[in-house]
Amino acid sequence: MNIGTGSPDRQVYVGGEYVPENEARISVFDHVVLYGDAVYDTACAWGGKVFKLDEHVDRLFESAHALKIEVPLDKEGVREVVLELMRRNKLDNAYIKILVTRGVGRMPLMSPYNCAPNLIAFAIPYLSLTDSGVQDEGLRAGISSMRRIPSECLDSKIKCCNYLNHILMRMEANEAGLDEAIELDIGGYVAEAPGYNVFIAKQDVLYTPGENILVGVTRQTVIELAAAEGMDTVVGRLTAFDLYNADEVFLTSTAGGIFAVREVDGRTIGHGKPGPITQMLNQKYMELLESGVQSTPVYPSEGR
């Protein structure tokens, strides 16, 4: 899907208005353009229902509050924008993004004061961070030479629009012929991957980092699904050694769900293909999406 020029047939929400995608504009003086000063959240819809919409909206507001950005609408207003975009664009399965920028100040300077925040949202046909072939076979990953920005410098729980740290690590991995990067914190412990949380499975127990990470909605969903199947999840520090010697490694993200990792730094993980726990959790995740039991209906009057 090419979004470079925008579609006149799709609508987006910018600055309090629904406008055709190819007419959407923000000021060049907005702090998100000048300084990356904004927060966002990403959700997905499946079968005409938005998965865990309340959790995504709550996290958006928490990120904004942490940066002292005032969201122009209340939570119900933001939820309605998302649902209305789904309806206007006639979507059932969708990739949804909501952004709140600090906005335009009195002068194009770094001062965060006297700015008028801007809410931007779009819903487009569902897409994944990787293609289906890679997801079926498993990703090839490598540990980045760079390090995750520590929470002491910028709290990793804030889902902000400055992703340069992640982008550079993914670029490094891709240019080395790999699918994805594994990010370590400055202490050498596994943090996450660009856009993903990290899990390993070892002897029927899940392990996932708990420090210097974005606390993902899909990550929490996987922990809940594992518990429902009688599996324990240990939240704690992991090293490269733990990744290399795991029975399974997988990544989780709103944009695509659960992705197996078949190789890290040239070391084959398990049998070099998606393992039984990864496959089981991915199946349970897709069943949860399709059931709609934790989702908000887009078309409630139609019973969809």
- pLDDT in single tens digits along all 304 residues of the chain: 555 556 778 999 999 999 999 999 999 999 999 999 999 999 999 999 999 999 999 999 999 999 999 999 999 999 999 999 999 999 999 999 999 999 999 889 889 999 999 999 999 999 765 565 677 899 999 999 999 999 999 999 999 999 999 999 999 999 999 999 999 999 999 999 999 999 999 999 999 999 999 999 999 999 999 999 999 999 999 999 999 999 999 999 998 799 999 999 999 999 999 999 999 999 999 999 999 999 999 987 654 4
3 state DSSP class of 142? strand
Contacts 24+ apart (CB under 8 A), 230-234: 231/204, 231/205, 231/206, 231/277, 232/205, 232/206, 233/205, 233/206, 233/207, 233/208, 234/205, 234/206, 234/207, 234/208
pLDDT of residue 303: 47
Please report the domains of the chain, with CATH numbers, ordered by start residue. 11-125 (3.30.470.10), 132-290 (3.20.10.10)
Give the tokens for residue 219: 């990550």
pLDDT of residue 216: 96
Residue 1 to residue 187: CA distance in whole angstroms: 39
From residue 298, alpha-carbon distances to 9, 47, 51, 78 in Å are 19, 9, 11, 14
Q: Where are the alpha helices (DSSP H) in the chain?
A: 31-35, 53-66, 75-88, 132-137, 164-175, 217-228, 240-244, 276-291
pLDDT of residue 131: 60
pLDDT of residue 256: 79
Residue labelled with tokens 């959407």 = 24
pLDDT of residue 127: 77
Amino acid, res. 107: M
